[in-house]
């Protein structure tokens, strides 16, 4: 499972060169309402795109569902796509997830290119080959491992992000740094998210993508070490799913940041993660991400959502924990009581 990652110097030039490396008979473009308006103009003037049919879907994770997927499939079918067609996904993580899954399943698989337009998509969704949709109230319940042929990374897109969407992506960079080394963690903790230096951000982002790539190459289909990338996600995905159930949806990265708080606490209790590193990380999260509000009456529902997590191999809930920054412990389980203790810690710390 390999994909070429191009860090763009000139988006249209790099896209033209990328298209020349792929043998395809027709190009289709998938965008959402926002990326069609804000990002498509950056591709203007590229002759290879002039005759490409454009599929526009509604924006937002709430639309990462089988109904939207059917719209994409139907458009491809109605407009003569074949197994030699190519799909260009232009958007954030919701779009690259859904577009990748549509491509992976249409006529048993057509090739696709991802151009991620959010920080979250670059460091999380667009790289690594996971595709999918939400189903039955559960995050990414249906999907495949299917890498894009090429991922083009262009940091110009991020200058249009509001702070909330910037921070949503930054949460995954916090996670990658925790998995990698104390040096990278210190860089991420000291970066000024209120006054973004885009040159420094590009360097941090390239390093973050490299950390994920290195792990994915070792274990493409998540049989072993790739589970490391789920740090913060077991509880984070439960927070995210609950937020939709109670009609107060939160951004993915915010849910993961709050999940990191709980799972680093479990790491402190179960695998010896240092208290001062726990405190510094969760202080950064509290100051920048605020709080997700839920009460103890919802603990059981959160636990049920965690039990649906795809990493679970038994009735117990499976976690990735850390004994130290860069010292990863996959396939760790926690009892219901230990999980509730972590939720209590979250409440006590965040108030």
Summarised one tens digit per residue, pLDDT across range 295-307 is 999 999 999 999 9
User: CA 124 to CA 122: how far, in whole Å?
Assistant: 6
Would you say residue 283 has pLDDT above 70? yes
pLDDT of residue 53: 97
Q: What is the mean pLDDT of residues 234-261?
A: 95
Nearest to 59 by CA among 50, 70, 68: 68
Angle, alpha carbons 333-259-299 (nearest 5°):
75
Would you say residue 310 has pLDDT above 80? no
Sorted by where each begins, the domain ranges of the chain are 4-160, 163-350
Would you say residue 157 has pLDDT above 60? yes
E-strand ranges in the chain read: 4-7, 27-32, 54-57, 86-91, 111-116, 130-135, 138-145, 150-153, 317-324, 327-334
Half-sphere exposure of 13 (CA within 13 A, CB side): 4
Would you say residue 212 has pLDDT above 80? yes
pLDDT of residue 313: 66
User: CA 298 to CA 19: how far, in whole Å?
Assistant: 49
pLDDT in tens, 27-81: 999 999 999 999 999 998 899 999 999 999 999 989 999 999 999 999 999 999 9
Whole-number average pLDDT of the chain: 93
pLDDT in tens, 74-122: 999 999 999 999 999 999 999 999 999 999 999 999 999 999 999 999 9
Overall CATH class of domain 163-350: mainly alpha
User: CA 103 to CA 144: how far, in whole Å?
Assistant: 11
Percent helix, strand and coil across the chain, each to the nearest 5: 55, 15, 25
Q: What is the mean pLDDT of residues 169-173?
A: 96
Pairing of strands 111-116, 150-153: parallel
Q: State the pLDDT confidence band at 156, using cuts at 50, 70 and 90.
A: confident
pTM for the whole thing?
0.85
pLDDT of residue 6: 86
Cα distances (Å, whole numbers) of residue 265 to 85, 183, 338? 48, 21, 10
Nearest to 118 by CA among 174, 185, 163, 72: 163
Q: What is the mean pLDDT of residues 332-347?
A: 96
pLDDT of residue 257: 98
Would you say residue 217 has pLDDT above 80? yes
Same fold, 4-160 and 163-350: no
Overall CATH class of domain 4-160: alpha beta
DSSP codes, 149-182: SEEEE-GGGGGG--HHHHHHHHHHHHHHHHHH-H
Q: State the pLDDT confidence band at 159, using cuts at 50, 70 and 90.
A: confident
Q: How many CB atoms lie within 10 A of CB 338?
A: 15
């Amino acid at each position: 499972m390999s994909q070429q990652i191009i860090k763009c110097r000139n988006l249209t030039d790099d896209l033209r060169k990328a298209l020349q490396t792929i043998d395809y008979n027709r190009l289709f473009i998938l965008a959402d309402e926002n990326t069609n308006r804000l990002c498509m103009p950056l591709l203007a003037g590229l002759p290879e795109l002039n005759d490409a049919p454009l599929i526009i879907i509604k924006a937002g994770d709430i639309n990462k569902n089988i109904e939207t997927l059917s719209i994409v499939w139907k458009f491809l079918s109605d407009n003569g796509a074949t197994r030699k067609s190519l799909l260009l996904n232009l958007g954030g993580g919701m779009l690259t997830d859904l577009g990748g899954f549509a491509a992976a399943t249409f006529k048993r698989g057509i090739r696709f290119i991802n151009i991620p337009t959010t920080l979250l998509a670059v460091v999380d969704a667009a790289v690594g080959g996971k595709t999918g949709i939400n189903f039955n109230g559960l995050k990414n319940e249906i999907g495949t491992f299917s890498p894009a042929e090429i991922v083009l990374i262009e940091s110009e897109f991020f200058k249009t992000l509001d702070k909330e969407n910037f921070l949503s992506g930054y949460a995954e960079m916090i996670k990658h740094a925790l998995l990698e080394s104390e040096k990278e963690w210190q860089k991420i903790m000291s970066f000024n998210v209120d006054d973004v230096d885009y040159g420094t951000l590009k360097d941090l982002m390239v390093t973050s993508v490299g950390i994920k790539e290195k792990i994915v190459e070792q274990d493409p289909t998540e049989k072993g070490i790739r589970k490391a990338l789920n740090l913060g996600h077991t509880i984070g995905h439960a927070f995210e799913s609950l937020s939709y159930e109670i009609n107060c949806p939160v951004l993915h990265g915010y849910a993961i940041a709050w999940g990191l708080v709980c799972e680093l606490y479990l790491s402190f209790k179960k695998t010896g993660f240092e208290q001062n590193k726990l405190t510094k990380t969760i202080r950064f999260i509290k100051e920048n991400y605020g709080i997700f509000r839920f009460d103890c009456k919802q603990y059981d529902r959160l636990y049920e959502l965690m039990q649906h997590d795809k990493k679970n191999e038994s009735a117990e809930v499976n976690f990735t924990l850390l004994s130290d920054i860069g010292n990863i412990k996959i396939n760790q389980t926690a009892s219901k009581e230990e999980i509730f203790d972590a939720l209590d810690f979250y409440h006590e710390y965040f108030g």
